[in-house]
Amino acid sequence: MAESSPPSRPRIPGSGLAKGLAVTLRTMTKKSVTDQYPDAQPDLPPRTRGVIGLFEENCTVCMLCARECPDWCIYIDSHKETVPAAAPGGRERSRNVLDRFAIDFALCMYCGICIEVCPFDALFWSPEFEYAETDIRDLTHERDKLREWMWTVPAPPALDPGAEDPKELAAARKTADKLAAQQQPPAPAEPHADEQARAAEQPTRPMGESKQQTDQPRRDTPDGQEGRP
């Protein structure tokens, strides 16, 4: 036998309109929390993805960021230069010199892949977001503009008290300690442990006796006094 459904409560006409008006009245009585931008700048979180800053000194033109970009919005041009040998008889080397580094923010989807794959820490997230343009073609920013945004990148958060130092900091500290040790004068050499033990085993000689006199055996004289041959 099918169970009977509970009787539904009769709906009061206009109850939905009354609920909507109640929400409107509660909202009207609350204080507004809208920031008056641009007079009041927003308080952005530290990991805001605004734009991408370029630290040009670390870029080696490896092209890894441009190859991994899913939108192909990074444009890089470079040329090779020959570096003379650092020491006489050495071999010359060639290095890449950056000519152009541009990002088309009209195509960028802010995925951050280019920043993650950069092996030399040349790209960073900046919280800067005021770069709107009236023409979409002006959203392609060159390396000079990306360099300016680099100085708006916030400092990294502090490490935990028990955390290890970064590899870069540890390597720099090790190099500084090595240079400081090279500049200090060498300490006087201490005698070897074997030499110290050998010196402790040798008998002490009275003052005025030579080594030849001390090493010669003693013999008794006829009158009972000790003498030397």
Upper half-sphere CA count for residue 42 (Cβ side, 13 Å): 13
First-to-final CA distance of the chain? 140
Mean pLDDT by 10 residues, the chain (229 residues): 64 83 88 82 85 93 94 94 83 89 94 94 92 91 94 84 80 87 72 62 56 52 51
The pLDDT score that the predictor gives to residue 83 is: 83
Predicted local distance difference test score (pLDDT) of residue 88: 82
Cα-based angle 108, 112, 113 (whole degrees, multiple of 5): 100
Residue type, position 84, single letter: P
The confidence score (pLDDT) of residue 40 equals 85
pLDDT for residue 181: 87
Amino acid at 34: T
As a whole number of angstroms, the distance between CA 169 and CA 34 comes to: 43
Q: What is the pLDDT of residue 209?
A: 52
Q: What is the pLDDT of residue 116?
A: 94
Copy the structure tokens of residue 33. Answer: 């929390």
Q: Do 69 and 114 touch, CB atoms closer than 8 A?
A: yes
What is the predicted pLDDT for the residue at 139?
94
pLDDT of residue 113: 95
Task: Could you list the beta-strand ranges (E) of 105-156.
Answer: 123-126, 140-141
CA pair distance 200, 194, nearest whole angstrom: 10
pTM above 0.75, yes or no: no
pLDDT at 222: 54
Cβ burial of 108 (10 Å; 0-12, 13-18, 19+) is middle
